[in-house]
Chain A
Amino acid sequence: MTDIGIPPATSDDAGTSGSKSTDMHRPATSVPFHRLLSVEARKLFDTRSGKIMTVVLIAVTLASIVTRGAVSGPQLHTLIETAGIGFSTLLPVIGILTVTGEWSHRTALTTFALEPRRVRVLAAKCLPPLLTAVAGSLLAMLIAVPVTAAAASVQDVPANWELGPLALLGWTATNVLVVAMGLSVGMLLLNAPAAIVICLATPMLWSMVARLGATGEALTEWLDLGTTTAPLMSGDMTGGDTARLAVSMIFWIAIPMTLGVVRVVRKEVH
């Protein structure tokens, strides 16, 4: 062993070796947030499953818009919104896998040893999936434009290019909220299968709850994100709608995320 690529441990703090380290002689600076962010963003795409998720997301977006164009005709807004059906299934799963992955593969052992301030790691983990939701929404808009034009010329009917900017913004926000719900539930449970079942089964459960008389209806009205985001997507929120949306967000996002962060920060890593 001639060259081990490592300088003598005492070289960069000559004179203080053997004594306890002092602030002056600590060479390393703490890990800046942008580095954590680029590492966590990279983790989203650097495995086969990550790459497959990306391809599936793009393929489903494309397929759903083209199919809808063929069936419903050249309606730009309708075509864009169609992509939301795939998003509401795929985006929460991306969020869940992001926050549970470190525990299912036990890589938390490495990640939290390199950055013991776990809240920063969690923040860096949450941003890329949220941005993916925005990027996915923009992608749907980009795809819908040529599909609308193509549908109009193939079906020989005039295209409807009408867009409500507020509705479009509300639709994008809804996609972001769906990811946030996945992140929150995933962080709370730290168990991907359980979190995925909860996120994907709740819309079905709510449609059953809504039929359970007045109480069930009221619960759905205030707590089901699918119901409370409807006015957001149509772009005509009233004051009451805002209150209902806020309550459902506290229930599905704020509370589980707070509990989840506390859980991760306190958790013993094995």
Chain B
Amino acid sequence: MIEFDHVSKFYKDVKALDDVSFAVEAGSITGFLGPNGAGKSTAMRILVGLSRPTSGSATVLGRPYTELRCPGSQVGALLDAGAQHPGRTGREILTLSAMTLGLPKSRVGEVLDLAGLTARESRRTVSGYSLGMRQRLGIAHALLGRPKVLVLDEPANGLDPQGIRWMRELLRSLADSGHAVLLSSHLLNEVERVADRIVLIGCGRILAQGTVDELGRGRDLEQTFLELTANADRSAA
């Protein structure tokens, strides 16, 4: 349902992404791992048409995101929980997007419940939200249009342990009902627990991909991660 096909992205002389290819199938969760600046967010922005690849192509549901009809109701994206107007209430932010997607106002209440934000919290402006609340709002926003594909950049950042558990169960049930989920994270243990497959990226290149078991090779995922990313850093330097 998500496919990166030899995607490269250069900013002047910096290679943000270098020949990245991988796919996320329906009914599965793919964990997108890599150190800061590895290119995870760049890849996700390219996927949803906010940035153009220098070469290669990224497609969702078989076509470029920008060619989807009403992409917001087919792909739910949380790219940056902090990118919200601080003067709007959580409810207002969801209402604006629900209007764009042509959804009934009742859907806003549904996703607020789903994300565990109370009616009272939803009527406060986002400037007073904690990072965890912003993440919940972002996830509510991503689920608004009942999309089949979810693209989540660091959704567990700032969530408390209950929140992380809630997110894990939510993503699992979505995948089990046929959704495709791509989630990036720094939390290796968390990804290990929730993801079916892992794509490990460093300095814009894919270092390894496969199931959690394949990548761990009987060892700790952390060990594999640190070794591979250290090698990538050395070869880049």
Q: Is A6 an interface residue (CB 8 A)?
A: yes
- In the complex the two chains form, is B146's CB within 8 Å of A6's CB? yes
Which residues of A are in contact with B by a Cβ distance under 8 Å? 1, 4-10, 17-18, 20-21, 26-32, 35-36, 38-39, 42-43, 46-50, 101, 105-107, 109-110, 112-117, 268-270
- In the complex the two chains form, is B71's CB within 8 Å of A5's CB? no
- In the complex the two chains form, is B69's CB within 8 Å of A28's CB? yes
Residues of A within 8 A of B73 (CB): 27-28
Q: Is B97 an interface residue (CB 8 A)?
A: yes
Residues of B within 8 A of A29 (CB): 69-70
- In the complex the two chains form, is B26's CB within 8 Å of A10's CB? yes
With A21-B62, A101-B85 in contact, is A114–B99 under 8 Å at CB?
no
User: Interface size class for chain B?
Assistant: 35 or more
Closest residue on chain B to residue A30 by CB atoms: B69
Closest residue on chain A to residue B98 by CB atoms: A39
How far in angstroms is the closest Cβ of chain A from B167?
Answer: 10
- In the complex the two chains form, is B178's CB within 8 Å of A35's CB? no
CB under 8 Å from chain A, chain B span 113-164: 113-114, 125, 141, 143, 145-146, 148
- In the complex the two chains form, is B170's CB within 8 Å of A4's CB? yes
- In the complex the two chains form, is A31's CB within 8 Å of B65's CB? no
Interface class of chain A by DSSP = loop
With A6-B143, A9-B179 in contact, is A113–B69 under 8 Å at CB?
no
Q: Choose from A32, A47, A106 the contact partner of B83 (Cβ within 8 Å).
A: A106
Residues of A within 8 A of B178 (CB): 8-10, 17
Residues of B within 8 A of A9 (CB): 26-27, 148, 177-180
Q: Is B233 an interface residue (CB 8 A)?
A: no
- In the complex the two chains form, is B48's CB within 8 Å of A36's CB? no
- In the complex the two chains form, is B74's CB within 8 Å of A28's CB? yes
Closest residue on chain B to residue A7 by CB atoms: B146
How far is A26 from B69 in the complex, measured between Cα atoms in Å?
8
- In the complex the two chains form, is A36's CB within 8 Å of B100's CB? yes
With A36-B100, A270-B45 in contact, is A112–B50 under 8 Å at CB?
yes
Q: Choose from A5, A28, A105 the contact partner of B143 (Cβ within 8 Å).
A: A5
How far is A26 from B67 in the complex, measured between Cα atoms in Å?
12
Closest residue on chain A to residue B71 by CB atoms: A116
- In the complex the two chains form, is A113's CB within 8 Å of B148's CB? no
- In the complex the two chains form, is B51's CB within 8 Å of A114's CB? no
How far is A43 from B93 in the complex, measured between Cα atoms in Å?
10
CB under 8 Å from chain A, chain B span 99-120: 99-102, 110-111, 113-114
- In the complex the two chains form, is A46's CB within 8 Å of B88's CB? yes
Most buried by B among A4, A8, A9: A9
- In the complex the two chains form, is A116's CB within 8 Å of B66's CB? yes
Q: Choose from B102, B113, B145 the contact partner of A35 (Cβ within 8 Å).
A: B102
Q: Is B210 an interface residue (CB 8 A)?
A: no
How far is A46 from B94 in the complex, measured between Cα atoms in Å?
12
- In the complex the two chains form, is B88's CB within 8 Å of A47's CB? yes
8 residue pairs from A and B, CB less than 8 Å apart: A9-B27, A28-B69, A31-B102, A32-B102, A36-B100, A43-B96, A47-B85, A113-B50
- In the complex the two chains form, is B100's CB within 8 Å of A105's CB? no
Closest residue on chain B to residue A36 by CB atoms: B100
- In the complex the two chains form, is A31's CB within 8 Å of B100's CB? yes
How far is A110 from B45 in the complex, measured between Cα atoms in Å?
11
Residues of A within 8 A of B179 (CB): 6, 9
Q: Is B61 an interface residue (CB 8 A)?
A: yes
How far in angstroms is the closest Cβ of chain B from A171?
Answer: 33
Q: Is B37 an interface residue (CB 8 A)?
A: no
How far is A36 from B102 in the complex, measured between Cα atoms in Å?
10
With A5-B114, A107-B85 in contact, is A38–B92 under 8 Å at CB?
no
